[in-house]
A and B are shown apart, each in its own frame.
Chain A
Amino acid sequence: MATEPVTAFLRPRVVNVDGVARRFETRAVLDDVSFELRAGEFVALLGRSGTGKSTLLRALAGLDVEIEGHIEVPACRSVVFQEPRLLPWARVLDTVVLGLRGDDARQRGRGVLSEVELNGHERDWPKTLSGGEAQRVSLARALVRQPDLLLLDEPFGALDALTRIKMHALLQTLCRRYRPAVVLVTHDVDEAILLADRVLILGDGRISLDVPVDVPSPRLRTNHAFARLRSQLLAQLGVDEAAEGLHESPVKEYVS
């Protein structure tokens, strides 16, 4: 998204992670993780499976109490999990405003539901929703709180490719409107480049790479800067594009 790194630097710091470690039994999944986030900054967190991306996100969400090190996050933050995590017994609008106080909560809930193009579904049961619709409810539930930090744990991982493209566009629109700082955990390099201002790669329990995404919008996969960054990220993740035969044509791969 069009964020100038120079101005980003001037914005207030909203996340400060310093020397964070997390051990399960004897294995240290996170060893020494440190990074900062500025207000409104969209960061993608990449890493091979098992590198502790979700562990770090859960730590930021405050769901992990056994974390070591220093973490500062905004009081108002929201999480979108990989599964929509709707309560099967709560209708859509009730799910969206869950835990929200104030007389205008339901009104705001309706507003956000229409922003995720779900007006008319307020009284639906979760069982009647498609996967994409359910994830949009989950996104609405996160945004209605107007969080300063939005944590996304592979939110599009379980969606089909076509729905995912639509969700990317929707997320971009909504982030421009609500302007939260975002941490997006993903294993999809293209998704990271498409959406983020900055990419962090997690490896061996540390942030092994921290790069800005300097790709002009619209960020097309055919763009040279896109392809270059993609190669760099994949190399850092231990994937040799040429050897894996991914290099020929990103477009072709995308279409097939």
Chain B
Amino acid sequence: MSTTTLGDGRLRSHGPELVTLSRETRAPRRRVRVPRGIERFAGVLLLVGAWQVASSTGMLSADTLAGPFAVGKTGWHLVQDGTLTSAMWVSLKRVLTGLAIGVPLATVLALLAGLTRVGDDLVDAPMQMLRFLPIIGLEPLIVLWFGIGDAAKISLIVFGVTFPLYINTYTAIRALDPRHFELARTVGLGRMGTIRRVVLPAVLPGFLTGLRLAAAVAWLILVFAEQINATNGIGYLMIKAQQFFQTDVIVVGLAVYALLGLFSDAVVRFLERKALAWQPSR
């Protein structure tokens, strides 16, 4: 190849210009490297610091929003006198009971609808219709049916949990690969064997996605239900605090809700990591 004169007058000889690709050229090194975790934590710290400064200087009155320090102190007192722990336990129990009823219910309904034609006709159509009901709007009816006790709160949670779990599980069953069923036939798996070895494992990812949604919905509904009418639980604690302008207690309640939600999400994520190790994307 001969030499060419480029537009800017530079001489170019023997083929195209070459560049070196290496780690350095692709991701230029920063001079100071702060670990990601610390950097993210610093953001949170900054926010809480600003909040504390606003409270201490009186810009933010305690009646509007208690400062982080006051919230921490109140939280600690509530733990020590047992109020918070017992309220937490009551709330957690409601969510767990709701899930314990809703999860098997949704699973059985999804299997019925997904695996049998009669089930599909009888179960899926009404489920697809009912899922557009705003669950929280059922509250007045639920109170008429179950009163204002635990049964009302739990049944509201059951309603809320069942739909996302049903939809996700049913969709996963519908998306089963027919070639896997063919395989099951050629290796002589019976109906139960096919369900156990092919259907259930294949549906598990969809089911767990549904479970995560369900857990989130369960907490959401609990917060709502406990603030309408309750005589115990975290929501009750917060409503009572509202009457006495105890914003610190309200913030403690919010924090506990958030932590419990985070915890249940972590539990499902853990299950996913353990049970879905086979997935190509993991």
Contact = CB atoms under 8 A, between A and B. Distances in A.
Interface of A: 61-63, 77-79, 81, 83, 85, 87-90, 98-100, 125-127, 141, 145
B33 interface: no
Given A61-B186, A79-B186, A87 B277 contact: no
Contact of B186 (A63, A88, A127): A63
A125 B202 CA distance: 14
A89 B201 contact: yes
B197 A90 contact: yes
A98 B280 contact: no
B183 A88 contact: no
Contacts of B188: 99
A15 B277 CA distance: 42
Contacts of B189: 98-99
A43 B188 CA distance: 24
A79 B182 CA distance: 10
Given A99-B193, A125-B277, A125-B278, A87 B201 contact: yes
Interface in B172-186: 179-180, 182-186
A75 to B, nearest CB: 10
Given A78-B187, A90-B278, A99-B188, 11 more contacts: A61-B186, A62-B185, A62-B186, A77-B186, A79-B186, A81-B183, A87-B197, A87-B202, A89-B202, A127-B278, A127-B280
A190 to B, nearest CB: 28
Contacts of A125: 277-278
Contacts of B185: 62-63
Given A99-B188, A99-B189, A125-B278, A89 B183 contact: no
B279 to A, nearest CB: 7
B20 to A, nearest CB: 32
Contacts of A99: 184, 187-189, 193, 197
B112 interface: no
Q: Which of B185, B186, B187, B278 neighbours the largest number of chain A CB atoms within 10 Å of its CB? A: B186
B92 interface: no
Contacts of A77: 186
B204 interface: yes
Contacts of A83: 179
Interface size class of B (residues with CB under 8 A): 20 to 34
A98 B187 contact: yes
B62 interface: no
Interface of A is mostly: loop
Interface string B195-232: 00110011010000000000000000000000000000
A85 B184 CA distance: 10
Contacts of A79: 186
A89 to B, nearest CB: 4
Nearest to A78: B186
Nearest to A91: B278
A88 B280 CA distance: 8
Q: Which of B180, B188, B201 has the most CB of A within 10 A?
A: B188
Nearest to B181: A63
A129 B17 CA distance: 40
Contacts of A127: 278-280
8 contacts: A63-B185, A81-B183, A87-B180, A87-B197, A87-B202, A88-B279, A90-B201, A141-B187
Interface string B148-180: 000000000000000000000000000000011
A78 B188 CA distance: 10
Contacts of B187: 78, 98-100, 141, 145
A62 B92 CA distance: 53
Contact of A87 (B198, B279, B280): B198
A63 B182 contact: yes
Most buried by B among A85, A126, A145: A85
A126 B278 contact: yes
List 7 tightest A-B contacts by C-beta distance, closest first. Answer: A99-B187, A89-B201, A127-B280, A99-B189, A79-B186, A89-B278, A99-B188
Contacts of B182: 63, 85
Nearest to A88: B278
B154 to A, nearest CB: 34
A100 B188 CA distance: 8
Given A99-B188, A99-B189, A99-B193, A85 B183 contact: yes
Interface in B230-271: none
B197 A98 contact: yes
A45 B44 CA distance: 69
A139 to B, nearest CB: 13
B21 to A, nearest CB: 27
B195 to A, nearest CB: 13
